[in-house]
Amino acid sequence: MDFLKLVLIMVMLSSIFIITGCSSPFEENNEIEEIAPVTFWSIDQGKGGKLKISTLGPPLVKEDKRLLSLQVDLLKQAGKDLNLKYYRELKSGQLRMVLINEELAKKGIMPIINTLLSDPDISQRLYLVIVKGDFEEYIKNQLKLQSNLDYFLYRMLRHYEKKKQGEMSIVNLHQFKNNLYSPFSDPILPVFKAKPTDFIYDGTAIFKDDYFKVIAHGIDDEIFQLIDNDHYLKYLSIPKYSVVLGHVRSHVHKKLDQNNSKLSIKIDVNGRIEEYRGDKNIQNQIVLERFNKKIETFLEKKTLELINNLQQLEVDPFKIGTLTLGPFTKPMSEKEWLKHWKTLVVNVDYKIKIQPLTSVHE
């Protein structure tokens, strides 16, 4: 009987909590007036081996934002110490971007990645970015002109992720993690160059495990987009031939021979000429075919140079190693695959079909 009374009392108390909307005594404080959602962390090298962490104090009331910075030994320590400097409690549940300085990334970012992955409040869809230059100085300058700068940076990354225009290598934490822990692929991240008045996309950062190794700039980055990222470029500029190709789509076929000693990459490219400032009569079909051939040769040379450079660095962002996997074969170890990758003979073959320059009003 006493047991039934106890159950009845517990049910009544639970009902009262639900009806009155009372929260659990163990829930965190989320009152709007007392918290400040954090949208980004900027992580740089500090003094004496410390990390320099910066973010904006983004209150939910009308009040000027300000840059908050401190130096810490551990990433988690930053959240605690920043709360002691700022009168609102900073919350990481709305964290959307983590920007890592390139010099720090060269030393390895595994501890940062693991800390982010282990935090249940942080979404794995947050964007990771490598920054060249002084991002803190850029923020200080731009805040005077654009108070919602952090939001606009997030919207820019989200826009290029959704549109998949091949103009930027947009990568989130989940994607980076998958490539980081795979034995047959190396992760990539976008690189932005920070200047006092500009924050400009600079190319694709290619990692060896968690160590930043090299940036694919310009034509190398555009080739990277065609071969492995979006397989699409809104514009492909080739200044050598005074031409800009538009709406370029690629279909890539990769094949390893049985001995894993030769790699064949065939790339079918379709697009149209958007701008031409050369002296060839590309309206003539024969001239256009010769022009296509020159572009094919140019892209084959540039692609082979890019792949050979990656082989020397022993990085495989194109996931070529996955071609060794089969239903009836034992998977190679990462070390074994890298031996093959470094000495692999690579053949690149482009087949380009481009439409001539035409008037949209015809």
Domains and CATH numbers, the chain: 33-216 (no CATH), 217-324+335-362 (3.30.300.210)
* CA 68 distance to own-chain centroid: 25
Angstrom distance (rounded) from CA 266 to CA 249: 14
Calculate Rg over the CA atoms of the chain.
26
Residue owning tokens 């091949």:
166
- pLDDT at residue 331, as a whole number: 87
Q: Are 313 and 338 in contact (CB under 8 A)?
A: no
Q: Which residues of the chain have pLDDT under 70?
A: 1-38, 58-63, 79, 81-93, 165, 358-362
Distance in angstroms (rounded) separating the CA atoms of residues 288 and 258: 38
Q: Give the model confidence (pLDDT) of 161-194 as tens digits.
A: 887 767 889 999 999 999 999 989 999 999 999 9
* Contact by Cβ (8 Å): 248, 271: yes
Residues 6+ apart with CB under 8 A from 76: 115
Q: What is the pLDDT of residue 326?
A: 82
pTM of the model: 0.85
SS3 at position 351: strand
- CA of 190: how far to CAs of 104, 156, 172, 235, in Å? 15, 13, 10, 18
Judged by DSSP in three states, 201 sits in strand
Structure tokens at 341: 């990758």
What pLDDT, on a 0 to 100 scale, did the predictor assign at position 69? 85
Q: Which residue has the tokens 């009544």?
A: 12
CA-nearest of 96, 117, 85 to 42 is 96
Alpha-carbon distance of 53 to 36, in angstroms, equals 16
- Find tokens 């093959």 and name the residue: 340
What is the C-alpha to C-alpha distance for residues 220 and 322, in angstroms, rounded to an integer?
22
pLDDT at 35: 41
Of 141, 112, 94, residue with least CA distance to 51: 112
